[in-house]
């Protein structure tokens, strides 16, 4: 029976079974499994794990006097915000629903409302676990309120989010076979995770502390000072002060500067690479990534996990066509990613 199989168990049994497991985790074991997938940012991962643990432990101890937990995870594009958040939640088997803030609207307007978001979570794990699940709102920076500068305001969505994170009673409307029904939920026991790059924070900070320039291999590179994301910096980026006041934990994910470590992480545990490996294995073909492949991408400041995946996707985009043509006359046993690109190896050439 699956973990989220509601079966005929009472509500208390379903929640208690989840809480017993999540509050008895061994941090050392969980971190070790995550380290097999994620490179770097161990301190931030530990803080995220601890925050999730504390929320559910507190709820288990006192279900009547409890508050929602709000976490903001930020970092530059490609730093691994999404990858880390997803792996932590899935490793702990915490029920969650992920939505893009860009698609959110307040109730009654076009776009995905928070009403629909709850229904998505309920459909995924059932109402009993939805009551204590995670709302993961990605691209939070898309909700920046710059209305006074003439840009589209998302202040109404932020206001509605504020009601949710404060643990208010909320009316949910749902279509049923017999018509429309309305019921009330309370988000006091939920966790809210906001992720976003907030590139303007980095820009504003750089204007304050300046850049250090250095010459390397006849190329100009910029070495940015590390910085701490503060509520004041986020407020300047259009996040409402009232909403910021409800965010208890802010984690800044630092990009991995080593190509070797990034490539190692991609090869170890990446859905895209594993999918290609699986499809090729069905043809008795092995996919390998040589160490030299890391040199295929130029050194750049915004180099990250996403850039590697995009490069792999680009290089392998026509691989099955090539295999079909090549295998008419010869037996290909290995597809190898090298600094030059894709190399097909015949039997005996591996």
User: What are the chain's domains?
Assistant: 11-252 (3.40.50.300), 259-346 (1.10.8.60)
- Indicate the range of 43-47, 258-262, 310-314, 339-343 predicted with least confidence: 258-262
Name the pLDDT band for 75 (thresholds 50, 70, 90): confident
Sheet holding 134-138, edge to edge: 96-100, 134-138, 191-196, 69-74, 249-252
Which tokens hold the place of 280?
Answer: 């090729």
Cβ atoms within 10 Å of 327's Cβ, excluding its own: 14
Which tokens hold the place of 252?
Answer: 């800044």
In this model, does residue 148 exceed pLDDT 70?
A: no
Rg (CA), the chain: 23
Three-state helix/strand/coil letters over the chain: CCCCCCCCCCHHHHHHHHHHHHCCCCHHHHHHHHHCCCCCCHHHHHHHHHHHHHHHHHHHHCCCCCCCEEEEEECCCCCCHHHHHHHHHHHCCCCEEEEEHHHECCCCCCCECHHHHHHHHHHHHCHHHHCCCEEEEECHHHHCCCHHHCCCCCHHHHHHHHHHHCCCEEEEEEEECCEEEEEEEECCCCEEEEEECCHHHHHHHHHHHCCEEEEECCEEEEECCCCCCCHHHHHHCCCCHHHHCCCCEEEECCCCCCHHHHHHHHHHCCHHHHHHHHHHHCCCCEEEECHHHHHHCCCCCCCCHHHHHHHHHHHCCCHHHHHHHHCCCCCEEEEEEECCEEEEEECCCC
pLDDT at 244: 86
Name the pLDDT band for 225 (thresholds 50, 70, 90): very low
Yes or no: say if 46 and 40 are a contact pair by the CB < 8 Å rule: no
pLDDT in tens, 229-253: 777 878 877 788 888 888 889 999 8
Q: 71 φ, ψ to 5°?
A: -125, 135
Yes or no: say if 190 and 132 are a contact pair by the CB < 8 Å rule: yes
For range 62-69, the mean pLDDT: 85
In this model, does residue 8 exceed pLDDT 50?
A: no
pLDDT at 3: 37
Name residue, tokens 């629903």: 97
Q: Distances in Å between the alpha carbon of 214 and those of 135, 217, 294, 297, 298?
A: 43, 10, 23, 21, 17
Mean pLDDT of the chain: 77
Yes or no: say if 135 and 117 are a contact pair by the CB < 8 Å rule: yes
pLDDT at 78: 75
CB neighbours of 63 closer than 8 A, spacing ≥ 6?
189
- Indicate the range of 134-143, 187-196, 257-266 predicted with least confidence: 257-266
In this model, does residue 204 exceed pLDDT 80?
A: no
Residue 305: Cβ-neighbour burial (10 angstroms; 0-12, 13-18, 19+): buried
Name the pLDDT band for 56 (thresholds 50, 70, 90): very high
In this model, does residue 133 exceed pLDDT 90?
A: yes
For range 144-158, the mean pLDDT: 60
The size of the chain, in residues, is 350
51-55, 61-65, 260-264, 300-304 — which one is most confidently predicted on average? 51-55
Selected residue with higher pLDDT from 103 and 8: 103
pLDDT at 150: 43
Q: 74 φ, ψ to 5°?
A: -125, 170
Please indicate, yes or no, whether the overall pTM of this predicted structure exceeds 0.85.
no
pLDDT at 156: 77
Which tokens hold the place of 119?
Answer: 């229904």
Which tokens hold the place of 338?
Answer: 């090298």
């Amino acid at each position: 029976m699956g973990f989220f199989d509601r079966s005929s168990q009472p509500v208390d049994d379903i929640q208690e079974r989840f809480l017993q497991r999540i509050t008895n985790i061994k941090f050392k074991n969980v971190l070790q499994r995550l380290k097999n997938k994620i490179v770097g940012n161990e301190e931030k991962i530990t803080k995220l794990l601890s925050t999730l643990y504390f929320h559910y432990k507190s709820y288990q101890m006192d279900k009547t006097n409890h508050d929602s937990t709000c976490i903001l995870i930020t970092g530059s594009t490609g730093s691994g915000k999404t990858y880390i958040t997803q792996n932590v939640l899935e490793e702990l088997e915490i029920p969650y629903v992920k939505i893009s803030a860009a698609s959110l609207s307040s109730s009654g307007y076009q776009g995905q409302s928070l009403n629909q978001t709850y229904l998505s979570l309920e459909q995924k794990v059932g109402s009993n676990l939805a009551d204590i699940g995670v709302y993961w709102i990605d691209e939070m920076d898309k909700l920046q309120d710059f209305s006074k500068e003439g840009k589209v305001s998302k202040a109404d969505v932020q206001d509605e989010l504020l009601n949710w994170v404060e643990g208010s009673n909320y009316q949910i409307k749902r279509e049923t076979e017999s018509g429309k029904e309305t019921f009330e939920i309370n988000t006091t026991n939920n966790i809210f995770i906001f992720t976003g790059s907030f590139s303007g924070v980095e820009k504003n900070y750089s204007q304050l502390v300046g850049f250090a320039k250095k010459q390397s291999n006849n190329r100009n590179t910029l070495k940015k000072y590390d910085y701490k994301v503060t509520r004041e910096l986020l407020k300047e980026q259009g996040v409402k002060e009232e909403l910021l006041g409800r965010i208890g934990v802010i984690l800044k994910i630092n990009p991995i500067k080593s190509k070797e470590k990034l490539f190692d992480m991609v090869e170890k545990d990446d859905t895209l690479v594993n999918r290609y490996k699986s499809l090729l294995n069905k043809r008795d073909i092995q996919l390998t990534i040589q160490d030299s492949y890391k040199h295929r991408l130029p050194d750049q400041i915004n180099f990250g996990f996403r850039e590697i995946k995009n490069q792999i996707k680009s290089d392998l985009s026509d691989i099955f066509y090539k295999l079909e043509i090549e295998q008419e006359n010869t037996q290909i046993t290995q597809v190898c990613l090298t600094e030059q690109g894709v190399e097909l190896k015949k039997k005996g050439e591996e």
